[in-house]
Amino acid sequence: MKNLIYAFVLTVFSSSVFAQGIIEREYSQYLDQDDVTVVFVSGKMFDFASTIAKGVDDTEVQELSEFASKIESFSLIKVPNKDVAQSEFKKGMKSISGEYDELMRVRDDGTKFALFVDEENDVVYEIVGLGVVEGEFMALSLVGEMDLNKIAEFVGKMDNDAFAPLKRISEFKPNEVKVYPNPTSANSDLTIEIPEGMVGGKITLYSADGNKVKTINADAENTTLKTSELSAGNYFIEIQKESVTMKKQVIIIE
């Protein structure tokens, strides 16, 4: 029964219907093109999968059921036209800038992929992915009320091409980045927790307008950054190692 439940949840991602969110807003011209992959799964389908899973006495299936019940929609497009991939990626990045917090960015061998979240009080209401992978442009949106840690667990279990871009979360673990206390006061210590895979990189503090304030080595999973002589305001922490960059906002108060 467990395998049947997983199979059912995965099967619904072969649906090709109208997409929403950033895809509808920025890339609607591609939705009717035959060579473009379009995937959309509504909240009703997730509710259906969740209802079926509730009757199964298995911890993993129950966790899948709970997560699925909070998803409102999933949408994705893949545009195979290599001539427009870079320009569409730039358009999406410009469109989303300022509206969402950047979670992670990967650049490697011509591949670009960025994840953004609409998050408040540790609740993720939407996660958006934009990328150029093997010359193709792709965009995705997962909407609901979700825990970022649960998203990482969920996509890690999914053996499906539709979820492949989101598996970067379970691979690089940006959900493990913690900055506290946040907000914090000037002339205090800020603790930064990073995934094991980012140890050996650099941690940089930037002001809201993008000016570099200070940089320290990320020599351990827990690092302390002093906020001495900083003015009150919004800042962001950038953790970078090789081709991977992760970001976290921080607020400094008087």
pLDDT value at residue 247: 94
Report which of 69, 77, 73 is spatially closest to residue 53, judged by C-alpha positions.
69
Domain 177-253 in CATH 2.60.40.1930? The answer is yes
What pTM was computed for the model? 0.80
pLDDT value at residue 48: 56
pLDDT value at residue 13: 42
β-sheet bridge partners, residue 239: 203, 246
The model's pLDDT over 46-81, given as tens digits with 9 standing for 90+, comes to: 555 556 555 566 666 666 677 777 888 888 999 999
Dihedral sign from CA coordinates of 176, 194, 141, 8: negative
Flag whether pLDDT at 18 surpasses 60: no
CB distance 142 to 127 below 8 Å: yes
Beta strand 244-253 with 184-185 is parallel
165 falls in which pLDDT band (50, 70, 90)? Answer: confident
pLDDT value at residue 55: 59
Average pLDDT over residues 132-143: 91
Report which of 170, 206, 178 is spatially closest to residue 194, judged by C-alpha positions.
178
Flag whether pLDDT at 245 surpasses 90: yes
Domain boundaries defined on the chain: 2-172, 177-253
